[in-house]
Amino acid sequence: MTVLDPSEAAPAQPGWDALASAARGCVACPELVATRTNVVPGVRPAGADVLLVGEAPGAQEDESGMPFVGKAGQLLDGLLAEAGLPRERVAVANVLKCRPPKNRKPTRPEVARCRPWLHRQIELADPVLVVTLGGTAAEWVLKPGVRIGEVRFSDVYYAGRRVLCTYHPSAAIRFGPKGQPMAALREDLARAAALAAELRAGR
């Protein structure tokens, strides 16, 4: 059996749907292949020009094949609507396209193998703004060990595109409605909506 190499397959995809189809056949990470139900490539509604990047699918995402459909997704939907950035206006993807067993943190080799898929998604979506959710996504753009609190207000760019780094909705849930991650995520998504509008106007 020929194992599809993401570093060769991803750059060759001419569009988002073609890339999603190719990613669903990826078997580059044997442990993830053995335990996943579905590959979760992500979604890009027509006209979406903001790209949200999370860590990896959870149990409900693995079951449905869709990103951010569990509790974290429900919170995210509400905060996006509150910020004036409805889910229909945003594309959503993850650093890993497959659920790690027991929702463990992705390993560096897994992130490296999966990287070409997300890199190509960013090229294809051509967003005015990329919003990273959580530490793994921020590390994907910047470097291992980066802390969200230190980069939330930094001018970050990836492949020539502006990036805003914030907390993952699951962290907001974990620390509760009065916790710092919830307040920061709410504030940052409002900033993202305003920044996207500014960048959109400048295109």
Nearest of 168, 165, 187, 169 to residue 75 by alpha carbon: 169
Q: What is the pLDDT of residues 161-190, one digit of tens each?
A: 999 999 999 999 999 999 999 999 999 999
121: number of CA atoms within 13 Å, CB side?
31
189: number of CA atoms within 13 Å, CB side?
28
Residue at 79 is within a domain: yes
Mean pLDDT, residues 54-73: 97
Which tokens belong to 131?
A: 């919003």
Q: What is the pLDDT of residues 132-153, one digit of tens each?
A: 999 999 999 999 999 999 999 9
Task: Output the pTM of the full model.
Answer: 0.96
Range of the domain at 107: 6-201
Q: Rounded to an integer, what is the distance from CA 125 to the centroid of its chain?
A: 12
Q: What is the pLDDT of residues 86-96, one digit of tens each?
A: 888 899 999 99
Q: How large is the angle between the packed helices 16-23 and 108-125, nearest 10 degrees?
A: 160
Q: How many domains does the chain have?
A: 1
Mean pLDDT, residues 103-126: 97
Question: Which CATH number goes with the domain that contains 77?
Answer: 3.40.470.10
Q: Which residues pair with 94 in a beta bridge?
A: 54
